[in-house]
Amino acid sequence: MDFEEHAAKPLLAAAGIRTPKGRLALSAADAALAATELGVRAVVKAQVATGKRGKAGGIKVVASATEATAAAERILGLEIGGYPVQRLLVEEAADIAREFYAAVMNDATSKGPLLLFSTAGGMDIEEVFATRPETVRRQPIDIRAGLDARAAADILAGLDLDAGLRTRLGKILAALYRVYRTRDAELVEINPLALTRSGDLVALDCKFTLDDAAKGRQADIAKLGAPAPATALEQRGQEQGLYFIELDGDVGVLANGAGLTMTTMDAVRHYGGRAANFLEIGGQSYTKATAGLDLVLANPNVTSLVINFCGAFARTDVMAEGVVQAWKTLQPTLPVFFSIHGTGEKEAIALVRRELGFEPYDVMDDAVKAAVAAAKGATARGSRP
């Protein structure tokens, strides 16, 4: 779950990291009032849970209430990264001397937290890695040992920083790690972390991503997260209690369990196809097979379907019963390819064969290949079967 800047910055402030004074604004009039209260120069920022707001015209420096009004009216009409701009953060403008980048995030390589720091803040970190690697420090953290201020400062050795500044930055990095650790974050990022001309270190922006599995443990902040933009079908799925993600492919996917669903999607891609959706109907979701199948079929791009069940504790014959009933109810005409393995597979295969007249494949790859080929054939014909 991603957080908008105005919701993320208080987490930094609570850890002792300085942030600018700011006001949340829902209208141009609110923005003008906030700019007046904050002083001569202010920054009007779009509040969306995505990056590159500046490039999209979502951040403007203003010097008066009149300028704040004009900037707010323009920004509130934008859509950035699929998010309509409905809120603004109006902050006091900083007198910047230098800009740094700092982040702690989950690292797939080290299987733990990763500290990233660069003296080239204010830029996309990917661009910094590619063009200015000498400005970057990348340090995996042992989650059992954590990160204190001295260790963080040592990581910065060799960068263009004097000893005093390195010590102060070490304290901020240690605080950033505490936010990451205590708040179950996947990512906490400050870009830029500004050194002002008066010598203060101030977090001018913050990205925060909460681990979705920790929403219960972090209930006090989970309610502040920004919902991801959803398509009409995804909204339907949410209303029906199904985790459905609409993609841009033409091979529909139904499988039990998130892991098997992603494996099936990977296989579709491997054999030259493109999955049209993520939707798993394992667990209690198997009772919603009709709603799930209806979601997949509602996408007009879907021209073939692969149904992949693999049972361990869950019984594939029970899951197959749900799909058979759904198929009879909805009566789709597009080609479907089954792969069924695991607990109850003999009964499930017999049920699909008897009730629907389809012959499940012995190997998952063969079912996926057939679904990809059918989708390509439909594309060549220029229509959905």
**The token pair that represents 83 in the structure block:** 């998010």
- Identify the CA nearest to 276 among candidates 256, 302, 304: 302
Which pLDDT value is given to residue 148? 96
Per DSSP bridges, beta strands 304-311 and 251-255 are: parallel
Which pLDDT value is given to residue 383? 46
Query: How many H-runs (helices) and E-runs (strands) does the chain carry?
Result: 13, 18
Which pLDDT value is given to residue 378? 67
Please tell me the distance from the alpha carbon of residue 336 to that of residue 293, in angstroms, as a whole number: 12
Which amino acid belongs to residue 64? Answer: S
**Domains in the chain with CATH codes:** 1-20+95-228 (3.30.470.20), 21-93 (3.30.1490.20), 232-381 (3.40.50.261)
Which residues are CB-contacts of 103 (< 8 A; sequence separation ≥ 6)?
A: 115, 116, 117, 125, 176, 187, 188, 189, 190, 191, 207
17 touches 172 (CB < 8 A): yes
Q: Is the pTM value of this prediction over 0.85?
A: no
Which pLDDT value is given to residue 288? 86
59 touches 53 (CB < 8 A): yes
Please tell me the distance from the alpha carbon of residue 383 to that of residue 320, in angstroms, as a whole number: 29
3-class secondary structure per residue, 114-131? EEEEECCCCCCHHHHHHH
Q: Model confidence over 319-341: pLDDT tens digits?
A: 999 999 999 999 999 999 999 99
Q: In what order do the strands lie in the sheet with 336-342?
A: 251-255, 304-311, 336-342
Name 88's bridge partners: 25, 46
Name 203's bridge partners: 193
| pLDDT > 70 in the chain, percent | 97
- Identify the CA nearest to 87 among candidates 25, 1, 168, 15: 25
Which pLDDT value is given to residue 384? 43
For CA atoms 141, 146, 150, 152, give the dihedral sign.
Answer: positive
Which amino acid belongs to residue 180? Answer: Y
Which residues are CB-contacts of 241 (< 8 A; sequence separation ≥ 6)?
A: 285, 288
Please tell me the distance from the alpha carbon of residue 344 to that of residue 286, in angstroms, as a whole number: 15
Residues of the chain short of pLDDT 70, as ranges, are 282-286, 378-385
Which pLDDT value is given to residue 385? 47
Burial of 229 (0-12, 13-18, 19+ CB in 10 A): middle
| Distance (Å) of CA 237 to CA 212, 243, 281, 290 | 18, 6, 12, 12
192 touches 99 (CB < 8 A): yes
210 touches 231 (CB < 8 A): no
